[in-house]
Amino acid sequence: MPWPSETNHDTAIFDLLEDERSRQATGLQLIASENFASPDVMAATGSVLTNKYSEGYPQKRYYGGNAVVDDIEALAIERVKKLFGADHANVQPHSGASANMAVYLGLLNPGDTVLGLSLDHGGHLTHGSPVNASGILYKFHSFKVGATDERLNFDEIRELAIAHKPKLIVAGTTSYPRRLEPEPFKKIADEVGAMMMFDIAHIAGLVAGGAHPNPVPFADVVTFTTHKTLRGPRGGCILCRKELASVIDKAVFPGSQGGPLEHAVAAKAVAFHEAMQPSFKEYAHQIVKNAAALAAALANHGFRLVSGGTDTHMMVVDLTPFDADLTGKEAQLVLDSAGITLNKNAIPNDPRSPFVTSGVRIGTPSVTTQGMREAEMPLIAEYIVTTLRNRNDAAKVAQVRAKVAHLCAKFPVYANLKAS
């Protein structure tokens, strides 16, 4: 029987996909949680594994016809264990958030006490936000960054841990631009008898490439997304000590998910393979170099960098010293018009709403994947500054848009890719 698309191609969707391909190719992608996946990763994601159902785990499936799927998932597991030096890995979580919630389901009981970084100081929704299931089901106490240096204060975290005796301490961030050393968290967890979970969703690629300390030897559990700096498909992963393998696996399936997305698992395996290559290490270190160069260039233009700079792939930029009337929301919108994509982001103790904000978050993974280096970062900063200073002048914004497209044309990420 012929496919409907053979006689009635869905031009509406594929025209929109081509629009998005063009947007990505001709603009600067500076959202810290985004990246360009390789053609091989995308090929696996769109493979025939989309057709297969495979509830369970390798050699323990509830459906037949999974011999190939078993081999693929086993390969993904072995690769990621080797990449991070882990005892056990579960590659089935659909996202970083689902990975985190599975860990909580496996290790905690409702009402248990947990420590995590406050969302408005750089943490994540699943680190205890009261609007998220993590904050509804568990008793989270949040630590914050310092009022003056905007960095984590481990003496204060220790005091909070001693006072509340958490069952689990969650380390990890979404908008904290500094290195997260695992040893201090481990020391505090051991002192109060807590387990330690490290969420490296943003920095997994940096860890894999040796550009950030690896928390696996210190943590009971490590969670991460497989996209972002790791440059794989959208998805999640959990690493843990061998003693926790069974409880973690049961918490993922059948505890919180049904059948895994094996096309995504195959794409994860491809990404893990790519991350083992020598070039990936160079890429990870270049991300950090580019971020430092871009942060310095923005500071020279009058922006304030939260915490004074960055050690990672991202920076949080306080717009107030540059222009007290400029909000993160307005900056995001006008920069979009100039072909520069980033996101509004609260700064610590932000007086503005999280839907408005006084800052923006900027990351360098995507432009680094394109091949840009330190030399291009001052130019990117100049484009940002020119756009924001002339945000009410459509002609000048359009001029920046043309310059952005010209720069991106020098660094094509998908030379021959078409949406269909």
Catalytic center residues: 53, 55, 199, 225, 228, 234
Q: Measure the CA–CA gap between 267 and 270, rounded to whole angstroms.
A: 5
Q: Measure the CA–CA gap between 414 and 420, rounded to whole angstroms.
A: 14
- Of 321, 320, 329, 331, the closest CA to residue 383 belongs to 331
Cis before 233? omega within 30: no
Q: How many other β-carbons are positioned within 10 Å of the β-carbon of residue 50?
A: 12
Q: Measure the CA–CA gap between 388 and 372, rounded to whole angstroms.
A: 23
Tokens representing 151? 């960095």
Q: How many Cα atoms sit within 13 Å of 205 on the Cβ side?
A: 36
Q: Measure the CA–CA gap between 103 and 251, rounded to whole angstroms.
A: 7
Q: Measure the CA–CA gap between 156 and 82, rounded to whole angstroms.
A: 35
Query: Which residues make Cβ contacts (< 8 Å) with residue 101, sequence separation at least 6?
Result: 126, 133, 134, 256
Long-range contacts of 85-88 (CB under 8 A, 24+ apart): 85/214, 85/216, 85/217, 86/216, 86/222, 86/239, 86/240, 87/239, 87/240, 87/241, 87/242, 87/245, 88/239, 88/240, 88/241, 88/242, 88/244, 88/245, 88/248
Tokens representing 375? 């030399």
User: Are 331 and 313 within 8 A, CB to CB?
Assistant: no
| Backbone dihedral angles phi then psi of residue 225, each to the nearest 5 degrees | -90, 155
